[in-house]
């Protein structure tokens, strides 16, 4: 399905925003400003931007641990800088500095957050999907997962239950080829991981996860099916992460030339070519998008750097809903 | 109006009356709907509410994961773990997810769910159907572990647990299911986090939960005949523990015995003992005693199981020892 020029321009800008977001995060992770581990999603923008583009604010989203892009785009524009300041461990962060890179959530747009345990959200997502059935509304749940996630036993329990109960759930499996250093073909018997869903009689397909038009088309069909009450879909989106597993991982396990070959399939490059060749978008229009994104990102970075750190003693808040925990 | 009913019936009544009151409450688990649960605790619920009682696959992670997701949407799931031992196959959802959600969401949403877990030994089912699992959960801030000892507590604590916004692991001891006692017909709550002084005394404090309470009561009677006054504390909520009630009691008696069904190592007895050693050292008139199972898996053969589980005589021995010290 070809997108309209306006639609493609919009998602191109989305993708550029999350690409630049990640590049800035990488700068500040490498120079030590951002504490802890950072899992970057550069190279996977089409899968994230395309899926979020299809969803409503009231749909439940469970991003994966490489999900900054999906998180940022789920958030309202005015909240996006708070996604970055959360990663910077600041008090203004969307989780007040409690969660960081792996736990950014925003309940106002039903971004339910990730969880540092692979395969955990695939069963938590059953609950939000179940809620839609219980309350008889048409909100859909989308859970992002990676090729590595599929090694977890919870994936079996989740797909088995969602398929049996026809829950409105879409599994977006971004196959970026590697679970840290282990290629998916070394850890799984299937050539295409989507075939795993067929055993549960769940419609399952493998698509080019770097082609935003294909991502949007297939996701829309899966979401529509879920909204109609026809049950879950598994979509394997083939992609590639350009960085190592975490920022700083040299990724020496990848064969020579592999990264370069995938960079030829850069989702931004593909979308830009379509815009220019099929829709006649000029270099100046592309530059204007880029300029807008730069202004936006510069604001996020400034906000993140200037925000105060959280009060250490606030660490004892919110352990329980109804009782205090002792501080120092 | 109070009647005499069983612990099982009291639990069933708590769920039924809460479901009448709040349509966000539902039950799920293995065989809980049409069959009414392996122990019959959810009998009759599916017949009344076929769309609010769900039989699931044997998928404890999916069950507890579903509870986490549904509860942050405002529902109030009550799941059953047929045997508490199965908590190992859903441990991640309880420990890494349920216990952290309120913290992560900064109070905007929480895992307002109850996992009813059938616990304890003595039914000759060996080590995968008999364990006391509370120590596995007691160092997870964010979780609540509730442990009723009587039918009255079974109803009042389960109602309070369903209404509570934290994730509650609700322990039901198999040996208590047929115990009968007075239970009000109407809905009532027994507050969580509050221990109950079952009997006042001045010489020895015995802390005992769930099925161990009967040992404490029998021992208190036996010691009373010898002129020794025993105070009994039933924690009701095992974690977070009501430290104040225990401290007040031991400050008065100066002697503590903890009776716990599980192995000695790292049980609630260990925590209570360490707390008193830290905070009440100068009040202690005798060493703290723990009466527990042996540090073994729970064996199958009846003679072996009885050998391993706590013995009533050990409670009396402990009482005599702390008095003689």
- Whether residue A152 lies within 8 A of chain B, CB to CB, comes out as no
Instruction: Kindly list the domain boundaries of chain A, sorted by start residue.
Output: 5-307
Distance CA A154, CA B62 (A): 7
Check whether residue B141 and residue B37 sit in a common domain.
yes
Helices and strands (H, E) in chain B, number of each type: 12, 14
Q: Chain A, 87-116: which have a CB under 8 Å from a chain B CB? A: 95-96, 98-99, 103, 105, 107, 112-113, 115-116
Most distant CA atoms of chain A, gap in Å? 63
Q: Which of A320, A323, A324 to mutate to test the interface with B (most CBs of B within 10 A)?
A: A320
Check whether residue B90 and residue B38 sit in a common domain.
yes
Specify the CATH number for the domain of residue B223: 3.40.50.920
Are B221 and B252 a contacting pair, CB within 8 Å? no
Q: Name the percent of chain B lying above pLDDT 90.
A: 99
Give, in order, the Cα–Cα distances in Å from A130 to each of A41, B26, B27, B116. Answer: 29, 12, 13, 20
- Whether residue A149 lies within 8 A of chain B, CB to CB, comes out as no
Of B129, B173, B175, B196, which one is the catalytic site residue? B129
**DSSP β-bridge partners for residue B118:** B172
Q: What domain range includes position B25?
A: 2-184
Q: What is the pLDDT of residues A182-219, one digit of tens each?
A: 999 999 999 999 999 999 999 999 999 999 999 999 99
Check whether residue B137 and residue B285 sit in a common domain.
no
Establish whether B311 is a catalytic residue. Answer: no
Check whether residue B222 and residue B125 sit in a common domain.
no
Query: Which pLDDT value is given to residue A245?
Result: 87
Q: How far is CA A158 from the centre of its chain?
A: 19
Query: Which pLDDT value is given to residue A250?
Result: 87
Check whether residue B225 and residue B163 sit in a common domain.
no
**DSSP β-bridge partners for residue B3:** B183
CA distance B242 to chain A (A): 12
Are A73 and A82 a contacting pair, CB within 8 Å? no
Q: Which of B53, B96, B103 to mutate to test the interface with A (most CBs of A within 10 A)?
A: B103
CATH hierarchy code of domain A5-307: 3.40.50.970
> Does position A34 have pLDDT exceeding 80, yes or no?
yes
Query: Which pLDDT value is given to residue B249?
Result: 98
Cβ contact, residue pair A105, B104, below 8 Å: yes
Distance CA B253, CA B258 (A): 14
Check whether residue B139 and residue B249 sit in a common domain.
no
Query: Which pLDDT value is given to residue A145?
Result: 96
Query: Which pLDDT value is given to residue A113?
Result: 87
In terms of phi and psi (left: phi > 0; alpha: psi -120 to 50; beta: otherwise), the region of B161 is: alpha
Check whether residue B30 and residue B165 sit in a common domain.
yes
Check whether residue B160 and residue B222 sit in a common domain.
no
Q: What is the pLDDT of residues A259-315, one digit of tens each?
A: 999 999 999 999 999 999 999 999 999 999 999 999 999 999 999 999 999 999 999
Which tokens hold the place of A20?
């630049």
Residue B190 inside a domain? The answer is: no
Query: Which pLDDT value is given to residue A265?
Result: 97
Report the mean per-residue pLDDT for chain A: 95
Cβ contact, residue pair A120, B92, below 8 Å: yes
How sure is the predictor about A248, in pLDDT bands with cuts at 50, 70 and 90? confident
CA distance B100 to chain A (A): 8
Cβ contact, residue pair A107, B105, below 8 Å: yes
> Does position A1 have pLDDT exceeding 80, yes or no?
no
Check whether residue B164 and residue B219 sit in a common domain.
no
Distance CA B119, CA B262 (A): 10
Residue B164 inside a domain? The answer is: yes
SS3 A130: helix
Query: Which pLDDT value is given to residue A246?
Result: 85
Global confidence as pTM: 0.96
Q: What is the pLDDT of residues A131-140, one digit of tens each?
A: 999 999 999 9
In terms of phi and psi (left: phi > 0; alpha: psi -120 to 50; beta: otherwise), the region of B40 is: left
Residue B177 inside a domain? The answer is: yes
In eight-state DSSP terms, residue B43 is: T
Q: What is the pLDDT of residues B16-73, one digit of tens each?
A: 999 999 999 999 999 999 999 999 999 999 999 999 999 999 999 999 999 999 999 9
Give, in order, the Cα–Cα distances in Å from A166 to each of A170, A203, B156, B177, B236. Answer: 11, 12, 36, 36, 40
SS3 A73: helix
How sure is the predictor about B181, in pLDDT bands with cuts at 50, 70 and 90? very high
In terms of phi and psi (left: phi > 0; alpha: psi -120 to 50; beta: otherwise), the region of A310 is: beta
Check whether residue B177 and residue B61 sit in a common domain.
yes
Check whether residue B235 and residue B169 sit in a common domain.
no
* Cα radius of gyration rounded to whole Å, chain A: 19
> Does position B175 have pLDDT exceeding 90, yes or no?
yes
Q: Among the three residues B154, B184, B214, which one is the final residue of a domain in this structure?
A: B184
Q: What is the pLDDT of residues B116-173, one digit of tens each?
A: 999 999 889 999 999 999 999 999 999 999 999 999 999 999 999 999 999 999 999 9
* Mean local confidence (pLDDT), B246-260: 98
Check whether residue B135 and residue B220 sit in a common domain.
no
Q: What is the pLDDT of residues A90-125, one digit of tens each?
A: 999 999 998 888 888 999 999 998 888 999 999 999
Contacts of B282 (CB under 8 A, 6+ apart): none
> Does position B292 have pLDDT exceeding 80, yes or no?
yes
Cβ contact, residue pair B62, A134, below 8 Å: no
Query: Which pLDDT value is given to residue A195?
Result: 96
């Amino acid at each position: 399905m070809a997108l309209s020029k306006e639609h493609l321009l919009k998602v191109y800008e989305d993708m550029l925003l999350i690409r630049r977001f990640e590049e800035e995060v990488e700068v500040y992770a490498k120079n030590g400003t951002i504490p802890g581990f950072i899992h970057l999603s550069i190279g996977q923008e089409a899968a994230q931007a395309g899926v979020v583009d299809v969803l409503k604010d009231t749909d439940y989203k469970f991003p994966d641990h490489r999900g900054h892009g999906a998180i940022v785009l789920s958030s309202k524009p005015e909240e996006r800088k708070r996604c970055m300041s959360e990663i910077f461990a600041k008090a203004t962060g969307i989780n007040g500095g409690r969660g960081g890179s792996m736990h950014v959530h925003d309940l106002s747009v039903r971004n339910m957050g990730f969880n540092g345990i692979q395969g955990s959200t695939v069963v938590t997502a059953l609950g939000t999907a179940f809620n839609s059935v219980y309350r008889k509304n048409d909100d859909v749940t989308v859970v992002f997962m990676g090729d590595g996630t599929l090694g977890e036993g919870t994936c079996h329990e989740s797909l088995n239950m969602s398929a049996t109960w026809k829950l409105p759930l879409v599994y977006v499996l971004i196959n970026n080829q590697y679970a840290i250093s282990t290629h998916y073909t070394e850890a799984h018997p299937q050539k295409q991981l989507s075939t795993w869903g067929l055993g549960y009689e769940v419609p399952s397909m493998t698509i080019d996860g770097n082609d935003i038009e294909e991502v949007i088309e297939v996701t829309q069909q899966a979401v529509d099916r879920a909204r109609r009450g026809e049950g879950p879909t598994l979509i394997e989106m083939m992609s590639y992460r350009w960085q190592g597993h975490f920022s700083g991982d040299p990724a020496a396990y990848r064969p020579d030339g592999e990264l370069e070959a995938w960079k030829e399939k850069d989702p931004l490059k593909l979308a830009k070519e379509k815009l220019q060749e099929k829709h006649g978008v000029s270099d100046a229009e592309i530059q204007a998008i880029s300029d807008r994104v730069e202004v936006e990102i510069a604001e996020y970075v400034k906000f993140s750097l200037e925000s105060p750190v959280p009060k250490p003693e606030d660490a004892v808040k919110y352990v329980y809903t109804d009782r205090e925990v002792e501080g120092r | 109006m109070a009647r005499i009913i069983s612990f099982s019936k009291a639990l069933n009544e708590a769920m039924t009356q809460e479901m009448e009151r709040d349509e966000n409450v539902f039950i799920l688990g293995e065989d809980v709907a049409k069959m009414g649960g392996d122990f019959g605790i959810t009998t009759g619920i599916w017949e009344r509410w076929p769309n609010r009682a769900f039989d699931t696959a044997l998928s404890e992670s999916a069950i507890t994961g579903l509870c986490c997701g549904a509860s942050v949407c405002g529902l109030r799931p009550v799941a059953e773990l047929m045997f508490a031992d199965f908590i190992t196959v859903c441990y991640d959802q309880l420990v890494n997810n349920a216990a952290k959600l309120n913290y992560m969401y900064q109070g905007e949403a929480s895992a307002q769910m109850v996992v009813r877990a059938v616990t304890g030994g003595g039914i000759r089912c060996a080590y995968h159907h008999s364990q006391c699992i509370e120590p596995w959960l007691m160092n997870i801030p964010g979780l609540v572990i509730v442990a009723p000892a009587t039918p009255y507590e079974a109803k009042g604590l389960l109602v309070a647990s369903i209404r509570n916004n934290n994730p509650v692991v609700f322990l039901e001891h198999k040996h208590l299911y047929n115990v009968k006692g007075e239970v009000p017909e109407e809905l009532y709550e027994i507050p969580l986090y509050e221990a109950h002084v079952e009997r006042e005394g001045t010489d020895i404090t015995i802390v005992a939960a769930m099925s161990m309470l009967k040992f404490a009561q029998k021992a208190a009677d036996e010691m009373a005949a010898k002129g020794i006054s025993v105070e009994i504390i039933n924690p009701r909520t095992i974690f977070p523990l009501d430290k104040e009630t225990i401290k007040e009691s031991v400050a008065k008696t100066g002697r503590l015995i903890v009776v716990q069904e599980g192995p000695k190592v790292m049980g609630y007895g260990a925590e209570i003992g360490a707390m008193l050693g830290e905070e009440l050292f100068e009040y202690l008139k005798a060493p703290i005693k723990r009466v527990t199972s042996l540090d073994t898996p729970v064996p199958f053969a009846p003679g072996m199981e009885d050998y391993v589980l706590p013995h009533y005589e050990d409670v009396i021995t402990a009482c005599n020892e702390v008095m003689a010290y």
